[in-house]
Amino acid sequence: MKKFLFVLSAIALLGLTSCVEQMENNPNYNPETNAVLTNVVFNVSTSNTPTTKQTSADTQASTSETFRGLTDAVLLSFKLGVSNNGDYVTAATTTADKAYHLGDLIAADGLHPSSTTVNDPISHRIIELALPLETNELMFWGKAPMTTTANAQGSIDFKIPSTSDKDLSTFEFSLKQRIPGDGDEQTRFLQYQAALAYTLNYIMESSFSGDIAYPAGSTAQTFNVKWSDYVTIEANSITVKTTSPVDANTAISPLGEVLGDAYKAINTVNPNEVRAGSAEAIRRMMQDLYQVVKKVADATPTTMPEAVAANVAQQIESRIGNAFQDPGTDCAWKTVANWASGTGYTGGTSLMTTPFTNFPKAPFGVPMGSCELQVAYTTGANQKVTWSYLQNLNASGFGGGTANLFNYMYPAELCYFGNSPIRVSADPHVANDYPDGVANWDNDASWLAGATGTNSSAWEKSSHVHSTTRSVAMQENINYGTALLKSTVTYGNSVLKDNNHAIQKLSIPNLPDTDELDKEITVSGTSFTLVGVLIGGQAQTMGWNYIKKSGNFDKMIYDSNLPSTAIPATVGTESTPNYTLVWDNYDENNAGSTTKQSDVYIALEFVNGTGEDFWGNANMVRKGGTFYLIGKLDPDAIAVSGKTTAEIAADQSLGITWPDHYALPPLDANGNTIKERRVFIQDYMTTAKFVIGENSLKSAYVTVPDLRSTQISLGLSVDCTWQTGLVFNNIILGQ
C-alpha cells in the first residue's frame, strides 16, 4: 500500500535489444554501440490517504490533486553481472554504465491517477532510449517542477553533475537556506540587527544635561544625569539605588525610583529567560516603556531630585519618539530613513530596503522568534548596558547548546527515486500491453502470457538484457525520495492555564499556593492562530539514496505557508492539515537493531489572539505576540500489539509496515532494506496530531528553542502515524 500520491511506480523499456545475428528481427539494434533504441514506460502509483499543503496540491498528498509533473529526470543503467540479476545498487556500487538526462519528462496534469476513463493516462508515459546489452539494473531520479514559490513548494539544490553523471558519489540533494550565505542576504540581515540593537542602546543611554530652577524663580542649577545613574550595575545584576543621583545624602525620589525600576526591568535578563529580538517585540517593549516614562515626564515635581527625574524622563520620551511614530498610541516604527535621521544612526543601511515592522519574518522568511537579544554590563564610573544579537542562539533555557541563526531551511521539494532490477521480454510491446496502476504492476500474475493487451507473452523477472530481448520493464516502483509530515492542532481542554504562579514564586519563594493563581483562558476559535511549523533534526545534504551524505542533523525546516491558521474551539476537533516535505532522518551513527534513531522536536508558531497577556515558560507572551509550543516525536513511543515497551525498544523493526515490492533505503551490503523505524522515512507520511492541553501554555517560548535539545520543555501533545507505519497516541505538549 502506498504512502504518497503519484509515486512513480516503474519504468518499462519497450522494443529492446538483439544480437548482431538477429538484427533483421530487431531493426532498432545498433551493432556499433551494442544498444537498442527502446521505449521507456513510467508507471505512477497513487496514495491511499486523501488529505490538504505545505498544501496537498504542492505535496501531492491525495489522489484528487493534479499531478504536478516531473522534471530534471535522470536514468542510469548498470551492468552488475548476469550472476547478480535481481540485485539492487548498494553503496558498494559507485559507477553506472550509462546516464540518460531526460529533462522535463511528464508535464503537469500529464497523469490522471484517479481516472476511470478508458485510455486515460493513469500511469503511463513512454519515451525512447538506447539501452546497452547485459543491463540488469536501472536507477531513477527526478523532482516536481517549481510552479510557484520556494515558500510554497520547498527549495533544494538538485545536483547531478553532467560531467560526472555516472558517479553516484557526486550526486547530492541539499536543502536551501532561507538566508543564504552567498550574495548580500546575510549582510542585509545583520544590518537590520545592528540597527535594532542600536535603537535599544540609543534609548538606554538617554540623559539630561542642562539647567533647572526649582522651585520656579530660584537660582538655576546645572545637572548632567544619565538614566543609568538611577541604578547600580554589577557584573551580573542591576539594582535600583536607594539614594538620589543628584544628592548622595538624600533618599532616591519616588519619580527617580520609577526610572530605576524601569531601567532594571528592561535590562535584566533572568535565568532561563530569552529576550525576543524581533522588531515587533522591541516595539512593544518601547511602547510599554513610553507609558511609564510619560507619567514621570508629566508629573509635577515636589523636590529638585524629582525635577531632575522628570527631565531625564522627558529625554527618554524624546528618544523613543525619534525612533517610533506616535509612541503614545501606535508606537509604530518610523521608515528606515526617518529613523536613521531621528536617531543619528551612521551605520550601514544600504541594503535595508523594507520597513523594520515585521523583521525578521519579512523580508527574510524566518520565524519571528529567531532573533534573540543579549545584554552586556559595563560596571564602574562609566556603567552602562549594551544590547546586541546572538548569532548562535542561546539555548540555556532549553537544556543547553546553541542553534545557528542561519540554519533555517526551506522545506524539501517533491523528489523521486528508483532503484530496481528489470523484467525482460522477447516480444515488442505497446503501451496497452503493460499492467496499469501500482497494484497490477507489482503483481507477478500481471506479467504472465496473455495477462494484458493483445501481444503479451510471459516476462522474465529479475533478468538482464539478452540478445533476443525486445522489451524491458523496470521491476520495482519509482518512489518519493522525500518524506512528508502531516500536522494538525486541536485543543485538549476548553480552559487553559498560564504559568503566573510559578513565575511569581521565583521572586517570592514563600508565596502560598493559594496566592497569585495561574490565569485561566477559555479558548475560542480566535484564541490562538497557527502561523508556522518548525522541524528540527534535519541534515542539509542527502546522497544518491536520499540518506544523509554529510553534515550534522542540526538544521531546522521552517514552513510558514499554511492552508489555514485557525484552530477550532471545539475540544478534539483538528485544524486543517498542513503538509511539509522533509528529508529522511536515518542516522547511521544510531544504526543497530537495538539502537534507537533520534527523537525529533517540532515547534509550532502561534499568535496570541486572546486579547490578554499570559505568562509562558520564562517570559510574558503579549496579546498579539508570537510564541512557540514544542512537541517531541519519539520513534519508540509507539504501541505494537502483543509487545511490551522493552520489546519494542529492543526491536527497531517493529511498528512499520515495510515495503515488500521495492528496496527502501538505506540498504545493507546484500541489498536488503535496513529496517530501523524513525520519525521521517522517505516515501512515507508521518502524521502528527498536536494537542494543546490544560497546562501547555506554561511551556510557551517567545523565541525559537534549539530543536536539537534533549531537555526542551514540551508544550504539545502529539498523536503521530506513519502511513502503514507507527502510531503515537496523544502526547501532550508541555509534558
Strands 555-559 and 408-409: parallel
How many degrees, rounded to 5, is the angle at CA 512 between CA 511 and CA 515? 90
Is the CB of residue 60 less than 8 Å from the CB of residue 68? yes
* C-alpha to C-alpha distance for 575 and 729, rounded to whole angstroms: 17
Our CA dihedral for 539, 543, 544, 547, rounded to 10 degrees, sits at -50
Cell of 545: 539514496
* C-alpha to C-alpha distance for 622 and 287, rounded to whole angstroms: 12
Cell of 381: 564610573
* C-alpha to C-alpha distance for 127 and 41, rounded to whole angstroms: 7
CB-facing half-sphere around the CA of 15: CA atoms within 13 A: 18
User: Residues 312-348, buried b or exposed e (16+ Cβ, 10 A)?
Assistant: bbbbbbebbbbbbeebeeebebbebeebbebbebeee
**What pLDDT is stored for residue 24 in this prediction?**
36
**What pLDDT is stored for residue 217 in this prediction?**
87
Q: For residue 615, what is the enclosing H or E element?
A: strand 614-615
The residues with which 40 forms a beta bridge, in sequence order, are 13, 127
- Residue 201, helix vs strand vs coil: helix
Give the closest residue to 105 by CA, choosing from 69, 138, 158.
69
Rg (CA), the chain: 32
* C-alpha to C-alpha distance for 489 and 574, rounded to whole angstroms: 5
**What pLDDT is stored for residue 354 in this prediction?**
92
Phi, psi of 625 (to 5 degrees): -85, 165
**What pLDDT is stored for residue 196 in this prediction?**
98
Q: Which residues have C-beta within 8 Å of that of residue 331, sequence separation ≥ 6?
A: 283, 284, 286, 287, 290, 320, 324, 325
The CA distances from residue 610 to 332, 563, 628, 691, in Å, are 22, 22, 15, 18
**What pLDDT is stored for residue 710 in this prediction?**
46
Cell of 687: 502524521
**What pLDDT is stored for residue 51 in this prediction?**
30
How many degrees, rounded to 5, is the angle at CA 710 between CA 3 and CA 503? 120
* C-alpha to C-alpha distance for 477 and 153, rounded to whole angstroms: 24
Strands 29-30 and 35-44: antiparallel
**What pLDDT is stored for residue 489 in this prediction?**
94
The CA distances from residue 447 to 110, 343, 472, in Å, are 25, 78, 12
Give the closest residue to 112 by CA, choosing from 61, 67, 173.
67
DSSP string, 684-732: -EEEEEEEE-TTGGGG-BSS---TT-SS---EEEEEEEETTS-B---EE
CB-facing half-sphere around the CA of 91: CA atoms within 13 A: 13
Average pLDDT per block of 10 residues along the chain, 735 residues long: 40 39 49 65 47 49 68 94 95 93 80 59 64 91 92 96 93 97 92 98 98 92 97 96 94 96 92 87 94 95 96 98 96 97 95 94 94 95 96 50 80 94 84 76 85 72 86 84 92 96 92 96 97 94 97 93 92 94 96 86 94 92 92 89 93 91 93 94 91 95 64 56 48 54
Q: Which residue has the cell 492542532?
A: 489
Cell of 288: 510599554
pTM of the model: 0.90
Q: Which residue has the cell 493513469?
A: 122
**What pLDDT is stored for residue 471 in this prediction?**
81
**What pLDDT is stored for residue 87 in this prediction?**
96
Our CA dihedral for 537, 538, 539, 544, rounded to 10 degrees, sits at 130
SS3 letters for 409-460? Answer: ECCCCCEEEEEEEEEEECCCCCHHHCCCCHHHHHCHHHHCCCCCCCCCCCCE
